[in-house]
Structure 1
Amino acid sequence: MMSETDKLEEAVDTPTEAPDLELSAHEESQDLVELYAQSLREITEGEIVRGTVLEIRNEMVLIDIGYKSEGAIPIKEFLTPSGEITVKVGDAVDVYLEQKEDSDGLIVLSREKAEKTKIWEEIRRAYENGEVITGMILGRTKGGLTVDIGVRAFLPGSQVDLRPVRDLDKLIGKSFPMKVIKLNQRRGNIVLSRRELLEDERKTLKERTLQSLEEGKVIRGKVKNITEYGAFIDLGGLDGLLHITDMSWGRVGHPSELFTVGEEIEVVVLKFDRAAERVSLGHKQRLKDPWENVEQQFPVGSRVSGKVISLTDYGAFVELAEGIEGLVHISEMSWTQRVKHPSKVVSIGDTIEVVVLDVDKANKRISLGLRQIEPNPWLSIEESYPVGTRVEGTVRNLTDFGAFVELNDGIDGLIHVSDMSWTKRVRHPSEILKRGDKVEAVVLHTDKANRRISLGLKQSQPDPWQSTVLDKYRVGMDVKAKVVRLTDFGAFVELEDGVEGLLHISELSHERVAKPEDVVSIDQELWLKIIKLDANERKLGLSLRAYLDDQGASSESTDQKSSADRPSDDRQEEGSEVQ
């Protein structure tokens, strides 16, 4: 096959035959001479030259670059990964001149090196001019990622994004625009940055956003970050703060209840400091304040339904409408029960009916009542529990001063410690009652205003001081008693029928007694003489000294233990000793 150079030489050597065309043939001949001279120009090894595909063989592709001989390039440099050839005869291609002539007289060319050289030139131009190139993430490497930009390059982890990327693996296989920030062709080192490009874009976007912002304007932004006190919204190169109090007209426990990172939302510019580049945003301000007509919507005394959305130690918050909540205080949950915690009455998510007690539009507060749904039983307490009525109930709680008894309809009455026994001095209700006991008592007093009922346990039984004591006991009688309690001033003793009396410290002995326990002890049984009996004041005075005197022996020589079972009119033997 004749090369372009051979054709030119033949054209120059061929004489002209047509005299009438002598001028034009001469001009054409001059052009061919010039082309031939150009074809024989001096070419330099290491250059990229343009050539034409002359022939495609099994292993080689012949290329004419206008030199005196053709060049051969292995066909693999023209194949796709699937094995398809990418050129045909007559195509113009750029090739790299490696050697002017080899041992066979052919010039040595390389398509692959030409492509790489062109890529390096493009990379250098991009580096010098700050231009953007596109690269595909190939995989992870120490400190960052490897990127294909025609040749392999390095993208440090710190340059991947504006903020640290936790999972770099998710970027593999994706393409991004980047900038070349470091280049060393001799070592084949290329360092890229995506962050620098993003910063430039963000700076441009920020300037545009700053120019367009104004207070009261409604704009769209993307949730960038969420904290306990609010959310930061990306407005386009500039972040604004959406405080938790400006997210909703209703109660918000945490911003994450309303928004998620990456979500696009609509906000209102509340405040804008251009100099400091600070923006305060609002989300609830897009809508009309629901509290504007709250007094007309929820008038005092009206019955409304709502959903329990939150519980606290002091009450339950109820959503009456979107953005409007009211509080049912713990004291407004029951007419009769002492509610310790709202969870004992309602649960989150319950739909309940309540009564509006008060509306404070200025402070956006509504007081609600749950117990007001039912009639107040205390209004008719005097008719339901007239004084003197016998009632039954269950001991619900014990205190130092008495026992609370729950009556049939849930109303509590108090049995004071002084109304528990006719005969005993009760120090604590637990001496007589325990929680859960079923008791019968008498209504002593009702107080409708303060919601109180006084009950008497002892009043449900006959008064032994009126029915028994005066008939059974008299001053001067000897009685057997058991020591039940010691005090600084003496000992309280209990007679056989449960009546208590006082054995004063001065009545223990003729000798001076410093402490009652020096003479007697709890649960000790003694024979004593009644020295005082007052039924009106329910007082019974006893004396050990008088009893011993009456026996004709001193307290030091009387053995009370040996005489514990003697009848009251028997006499103790002399020589016994007081224990």
Structure 2
Amino acid sequence: MDALLANEQKNEFVENSIVPGKIVEKRNDGALVDIGYKAEGFIPAAEFRNWADVKVGDQVDVYLEEIENENSMPGISLQKANFIKSWNKITSEYGEGSVITGLMKHRVKGGIIIDLNGVEAFLPGSQIDIGPVKNMDDFIGKEYEFKILKINQERRNIVVSRRELLEASRKDRRSQLLKDMEVNQIRKGVVKNITDFGAFIDLGGIDGLLHITDMSWGRISHPSEMLEIGQEVEVMILDIDYDKERVSLGLKQKTKNPWDEVETKYPVGSTVKGRIVNIMPYGAFVEIEQGVEGLIHVSEMSWTKRVTKAGDIVSVGEEVEAVVLDIDKEGKKISLGLRQKTRNPWEVLAEKYPAGSRIKGKVRNMTSYGAFV
């Protein structure tokens, strides 16, 4: 009779299913759970999420692995029951593309395991952040939102991404930031990167390009002369390309263009002081003030010498005085003369030896058409 009752009781249970139970005894290493069978099943303490809070009388759902194991006890698992319930909940309420909160659990090869309320998902290393991650351990134990990329029902695994959510959020911020921007507006930013042609400025969600030609009214050879990575700067919005999401920035435009007053400050015929900043075969460039340079052409360097190279007369860094010969405000050009600091010797000669006067001299050279004295 007992064997018959036992068989009937066995028939009431189905292996590989979830059954309700109640904790009837709590031990140091685990708990006995009554599922209505003739014997209680045992669940190790490690399967409980908060073992310290577990008490006798608690109702739990367990996974029935086998009706009777080698100890004549039902083989049950709380962990598997929680996984199945969580899996069913996640796959029924969430799908690929959905957003779910999870806990960064521990590192594995190629990424991090994420706990999604009892279901482990895989977060590839490339999907942790927008940029490269130097130390994955910095993320362990923290909760974040993730986007479900793929659910495999057969293998019961889930692949998630945090990067896609960050990129979507950044894109929204970029769009809003572009809407708030206006040409000629002053914005604060941080120098993010420096190249030979300029610097990229982080404006709080979108990078703008500050070209080297828009950094200073004066001459600079490299952006690093004025800026360094991490430096906070105030820049002016010069242009916005909404389609390509590009912003052009200016630094020199925050100050007055020195060429606006050159005709008043340096009228034609006046003498100016400056420093030689560049030498070309045809002349030398003189910095009169920051942002204003004038050219001394080789033909304006000496009254008596035939100058073929400007470097024979002046050198870079040399302080000189020159006379303003001409100003092209629109073209931002000033013509300077070095020889005009002294009188033209031919004018002096004409005054000293007027036509018709007698002079003495030494024959220097003879030609077929005359003599040079």
TM-score range for the pair, normalised by the shorter chain length? 0.5 to 0.7
Identify if the C-alpha distance between structure 1 residues 312 and 257 changes in structure 2 by more than 3 Å, giving closer, same or farther: farther
- Give the number of the structure with larger relative contact order, counting CA–CA contacts within 8 Å between residues 6 or more apart: 2
Matched, 1:73 2:37: no
Contact kept? 1:161, 1:194, Cα under 8 Å: yes
Matched, 1:286 2:257: no
After superposition, the C-alpha distances for 1:312-356 in whole angstroms (9 at most, x for unaligned) are 333343444333333344445566473525387323xx2523335
2:321 to 346, 351, 354: 354
1:298: Cα distance to partner? 4.3
Matched, 1:170 2:134: yes
One-letter code of the match for 2:361?
Answer: G
Secondary structure (helix, strand or coil) at the match of 2:293 reads strand
Structure 1 distance, partners of 2:69, 2:334, is 98
Contact kept? 1:311, 1:343, Cα under 8 Å: no
Matched, 1:340 2:309: yes
One-letter code of the match for 1:72?
Answer: F
2:112 to 125, 131, 147: 147
Q: 1:69-218, aligned counterparts within 5 Å?
A: 70-75=40-45, 87-88=51-52, 90=54, 96-99=62-65, 101-104=68-71, 106-110=73-77, 112-113=79-80, 120=87, 124=91, 127-128=95-96, 130-133=98-101, 135=104, 138=107, 145-150=110-115, 151=120, 153=122, 155=124, 157=126, 168=132, 170=134, 172-175=136-139, 178-218=146-186
**Structure 2 unaligned regions, length at least 5:** 1-11, 353-358
Contact kept? 1:95, 1:113, Cα under 8 Å: no
Contact kept? 2:274, 2:289, Cα under 8 Å: no
Identify if the C-alpha distance between structure 1 residues 343 and 61 changes in structure 2 by more than 3 Å, giving closer, same or farther: farther
Measured on the aligned residues, the alpha-carbon RMSD in Å equals: 4.9
Task: Find the counterpart in structure 2 of residue 314 from structure 1.
Answer: 282
Identify if the C-alpha distance between structure 1 residues 89 and 253 changes in structure 2 by more than 3 Å, giving closer, same or farther: closer
1:184: Cα distance to partner? 0.9
Q: 1:209-228, aligned counterparts within 5 Å?
A: 209-221=177-189
Structure 2 distance, partners of 1:90, 1:354, is 93
Q: 1:478-493, aligned counterparts within 5 Å?
A: none
Identify if the C-alpha distance between structure 1 residues 341 and 290 changes in structure 2 by more than 3 Å, giving closer, same or farther: closer
Structure 1 distance, partners of 2:289, 2:41, is 85
1:131: Cα distance to partner? 0.7
Q: What is the aligned residue count?
A: 335
Secondary structure (helix, strand or coil) at the match of 2:260 reads coil
Matched, 1:304 2:268: no
Identify if the C-alpha distance between structure 1 residues 102 and 233 changes in structure 2 by more than 3 Å, giving closer, same or farther: same
Structure 1 distance, partners of 2:81, 2:154, is 16
1:204: Cα distance to partner? 1.8
Q: 1:36-55, aligned counterparts within 5 Å?
A: 45-47=16-18, 54-55=25-26
Matched, 1:270 2:238: yes
- Which entry has the higher C-alpha Rg, 1 or 2? 1
One-letter code of the match for 1:87?
Answer: W
Contact kept? 1:239, 1:279, Cα under 8 Å: yes
Contact kept? 1:96, 1:109, Cα under 8 Å: yes
Identify if the C-alpha distance between structure 1 residues 154 and 314 changes in structure 2 by more than 3 Å, giving closer, same or farther: farther
Contact kept? 2:281, 2:308, Cα under 8 Å: no
1:190: Cα distance to partner? 3.4
Secondary structure (helix, strand or coil) at the match of 2:134 reads helix
Contact kept? 1:299, 1:356, Cα under 8 Å: no
Identify if the C-alpha distance between structure 1 residues 127 and 233 changes in structure 2 by more than 3 Å, giving closer, same or farther: farther
Matched, 1:388 2:361: yes
Contact kept? 1:314, 1:342, Cα under 8 Å: no
Structure 2 distance, partners of 1:290, 1:130, is 58
Structure 1 distance, partners of 2:168, 2:220, is 37
Task: Find the counterpart in structure 1 of residue 6 from structure 2.
Answer: none
Task: Find the counterpart in structure 1 of residue 214 from structure 2.
Answer: 246
Identify if the C-alpha distance between structure 1 residues 154 and 418 changes in structure 2 by more than 3 Å, giving closer, same or farther: farther
After superposition, the C-alpha distances for 1:286-311 in whole angstroms (9 at most, x for unaligned) are 222233333444455234244x4444
Secondary structure (helix, strand or coil) at the match of 1:170 reads coil
Q: What TM-score do the two structures reach when normalised by structure 1?
A: 0.45
Matched, 1:61 2:30: yes
Structure 2 distance, partners of 1:207, 1:117, is 42
Structure 1 distance, partners of 2:35, 2:347, is 121
One-letter code of the match for 2:113?
Answer: D
1:235: Cα distance to partner? 5.0
